[in-house]
Amino acid sequence: MVPALRIAGVTKRFGTTRALAGIDLEVAQGEFFGLLGPNGAGKTTLISALAGLVRPDSGRLEVMGHDVQADYRQARLKLGVVPQELVFDPFFSVRQTLRIQSGYYGIRRNDDWIDEILANLDLAGKAEANMRSLSGGMKRRVLVAQALVHKPPVIVLDEPTAGVDVELRQGLWRFIRRLNGEGHSIVLTTHYLEEAETQCGRIAMMKAGRIVALDSTGNLLRRFGDGTTNLEDAFMRVMKEAA
Amino acid sequence: MIGFLTLLQKEILRFWKVGFQTVAAPVVTALLYLLIFSHVLEDHVRIYDNVPYTAFLVPGLVMMSILQNAFANSSSSLIQSKVTGSVVFMLLAPISYRAFWAAYVGAAALRGLLVGLGVFLVTLGFTGARLEAPLWILVFAVLGGAVLGTLGVIAGIWSDKFDQLAAFQNFLIMPLTFLSGVFYSIHSLPPFWQQVSHWNPVFYMIDGFRYGFFALSDVSPWQSLAVVGVCFVLLAAVTLELLRRGYKLRM
Ligand SMILES: Nc1ncnc2c1ncn2[C@@H]1O[C@H](COP(=O)(O)OP(=O)(O)O)[C@@H](O)[C@H]1O
Ligand SMILES: [Mg+2]
């Protein structure tokens, strides 16, 4: 089976900043994968490179076997990205936003799926509301919805729970877990490490543009702990050792 | 194809939703120009023997409205989505750079044509319509809108802030459209400024457009078509290359 993501030898500089200093990573289909690291580690840059928003200086990236540059149409069809920045188009309602996004992916009548997404993200009551009128947490959930309109096999969420309250976070994870159960591969970044600990089967920890630890969540906890540690302690130790 | 049509539809919806600002207001502006200039100049200026000044002015104003609004549409839409970050939704999608260009230019030209049509209809009350060669009118209207829509895409991609876009508008678009024979025939200019005007592509758009109304022009409409056509091809090629490289859109 072709991997959901294949990343090989990817580097990227912004001026003098080495945002990615040689990343090799494979994520298998069906995984629930966590990408952790302090601010500036390069997580967003790596996701942007997968999405074709950033052009790497060297290396290759594939989504479901499709090169993100040479075969960008197929690669983008297979990928759904929830951007870290809380962006929206103030001109449209939630439903219009999702219909337009569907159209970008070549899907014309998508209202059944759109309604299902909205219900699962607790946004059904806001379908006709203008994007401007939504709270930050609601806008974040619309971003999640936008990433899902084309039912992508690979879903990448860059800090999807930032600014979303606890109750809605639970709902979001339920929905994402369901999608994962239905075969979608999930990659997420988050600063809430207990979230990563409960959701992710495998985790990569990044620092300064490199992957400094990569293992199953269980192994990471065993390797860097004494049985009582949580992922937060393991993370701190990995970061210290990588210094 | 659906991707292109969606983007086109979104761009049309974007200006249509605020049609009062984007279509009605420019029609009123053009009408004010007409009232003032025709009042002041009607009895003093005669460019072609059997064409009253007001009638002469109308095609110029229509074309100027088409051009300025086509430019405003693609440039302001692009810079807005860059500044708000919502451009990312188009960049994530499997839309080709050609479809991207065509959708922005299509919507820009359409807004230009709507404003132009509005100006024309409103001015019908002031001067009768003469339509000697309507095909030329259509050709230059569409081509002019497409050229300025394309220029708007370049300006929108290049500008990082609204004031950079305003500079583009004030120091390039406004002089090009005003110094192009909207209000006069360039034959009434001193020789030096006549020469300068011949280097202004907008002069050919307006001259060719006006030919469609009166079958009278400063240069042959075929020559104008050639100049405007070459401009379009060159600008489109530059824009497509910028988009292909992801200039200022993909880091
Ligand atoms: N567009 C950009 N221009 C310049 N520097 C950037 C840009 N994007 C990211 N960087 C830099 O690259 C590094 C990695 O950033 P990022 O990928 O956002 O990290 P993370 O998502 O892990 O917090 C940081 O030092 C950041 O300042
Ligand atoms: Mg980030």
Walk along chain A (243 residues) and give the pLDDT tens digit of each residue: 899 999 999 999 999 999 999 999 999 999 999 999 999 999 999 999 999 999 999 999 999 999 999 999 999 999 999 999 999 998 899 999 999 999 999 999 999 999 999 998 889 999 999 999 988 888 888 999 999 999 999 999 998 887 777 877 888 888 899 999 999 999 999 888 888 888 899 999 999 999 998 988 888 777 776 666 687 777 777 787 777
List the single best residue of B22, B89, B95 to mutate versus A (max A Cβ within 10 A). B89
Half-sphere exposure for A34 (CA within 13 Å, toward CB)? 26
Q: Which residues line ligand 1 (CB under 6 A)?
A: A 14, 17, 19, 37, 39-45; B 251
Task: Answer yes or no: do A58 and A92 share one domain.
Answer: no
Task: Answer yes or no: do A161 and A71 share one domain.
Answer: yes
Task: Answer yes or no: do A66 and A125 share one domain.
Answer: no
* Partners of residue A107 in chain B, C-beta under 8 Å: 2
| pLDDT confidence of residue A225 | 67
Task: Answer yes or no: do A140 and A157 share one domain.
Answer: no
Interval B159-170: pLDDT, tens: 998 998 989 888
Q: Which domain holds residue A124?
A: 86-151
| pLDDT confidence of residue B206 | 93
Task: Answer yes or no: do A73 and A104 share one domain.
Answer: no
CA of B247 vs chain A CAs: smallest distance (Å): 11
**Distance of CA A40 from the midpoint of ligand 2 (Å):** 7
Name the B residues in 118-177 with CB < 8 Å from any A CB: none
Residue B135 belongs to some domain of the structure: yes
Interval B182-227: pLDDT, tens: 777 777 778 888 888 888 899 999 999 999 988 888 889 999 999 9
Task: Answer yes or no: do A71 and A163 share one domain.
Answer: yes
Task: Answer yes or no: do A166 and A142 share one domain.
Answer: no
Residue B20 belongs to some domain of the structure: yes
Helix (H, G, I), strand (E, B) or coil at A174: helix
Q: Which domain holds residue B14?
A: 2-245
Q: List the single residue in A with minimal CA-CA distance to B2.
A: A106
Long-range own/partner contacts, residues A36-41 (CB < 8 A, 24 or more apart): A36/A189, A36/A190, A36/A193, A36/A196, A36/A203, A36/A204, A36/A205, A36/A206, A36/A235, A37/A189, A37/A205, A37/A206, A37/A207, A38/A207, A38/A239, A40/A208, A41/A206, A41/A207, A41/A208, A41/A209
Number of independent structural domains in chain A: 2
Task: Answer yes or no: do A194 and A241 share one domain.
Answer: yes
| pLDDT confidence of residue B190 | 82
Inter-chain contact A101–B7, Cβ cutoff 8 Å? no
Task: Answer yes or no: do A130 and A232 share one domain.
Answer: no
**Distance of CA A243 from the midpoint of ligand 1 (Å):** 19
Inter-chain contact A104–B14, Cβ cutoff 8 Å? no
* Partners of residue B92 in chain A, C-beta under 8 Å: 51-53, 76, 79, 81
pTM here? 0.90
Task: Answer yes or no: do A98 and A116 share one domain.
Answer: yes
**Distance of CA A45 from the midpoint of ligand 1 (Å):** 6
How far apart (Å, rounded) are the C-alpha atoms in residues A22 and A9?
Answer: 5
- Identify the residue with better confidence: B35 or B48: B35
Number of independent structural domains in chain B: 1
Domain boundary among A134, A151, A168: A151
If we measure between CA atoms, which residue out of A204, A223, A241, A81 comes closest to residue A145? A81
Residue B87 belongs to some domain of the structure: yes
